[in-house]
C-alpha cells in the first residue's frame, strides 16, 4: 500500500496497515470494518487468514497473483463468513 501526503509517498506493508487500523478510535475502526464488509470483532483475524491463504498460494505457484485469483479468494472468504453467520 502506498500513502501520499502532500506529495510524500510512504510504502506500507500489510502488517503496518493492520497496526495502524488497530490504533484508530473505535468509531473509525467501525468505519474500516464496514468498508471491508465484515461485521464482527474478528475482522482483523479474518483479514490475516485471507492474506495467509493468498501468500501460501503465491509461494506454492511462484507466479504473480491475477485479479481473478484475488477475486476468487475474496468470494471464498465471504462465502465462509456467510455460512458461519447462518449458524
| DSSP letters spanning 35-87 | HHT--STTHHHHHHHHHHHHHHHHHHH-SPPPHHHHHHHHHHHHHHHHHHHT-
Which domain, by its residues, includes 13? 2-85
* In the predicted structure, residue 38 carries a pLDDT above the cut 60: no
More reliable by pLDDT, 85 or 32: 32
Structure confidence by residue, pLDDT tens digits, 42-54: 677 777 787 787 7
Residue appearing with cell numbers 500513502: 3
Q: How far, in Å, CA of 65 to CA of 59, rounded?
A: 10
Give mean pLDDT, residues 4-30: 81
Residues 19-27 have a mean pLDDT of 88
Q: In the chain, how many domains are there?
A: 1
Amino acid at each position: 500500500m502506498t500513502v501520499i501526503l502532500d506529495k510524500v509517498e510512504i510504502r506500507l506493508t500489510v502488517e503496518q496497515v493492520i497496526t495502524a487500523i488497530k490504533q484508530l478510535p473505535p468509531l473509525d475502526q467501525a468505519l474500516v470494518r464496514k468498508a471491508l464488509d465484515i461485521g464482527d470483532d474478528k475482522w482483523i483475524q479474518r483479514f490475516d487468514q485471507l492474506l495467509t491463504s493468498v501468500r501460501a498460494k503465491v509461494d506454492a505457484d511462484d507466479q504473480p497473483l491475477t485479479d481473478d485469483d484475488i477475486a476468487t479468494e475474496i468470494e471464498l472468504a465471504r462465502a465462509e463468513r456467510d455460512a458461519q453467520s447462518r449458524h
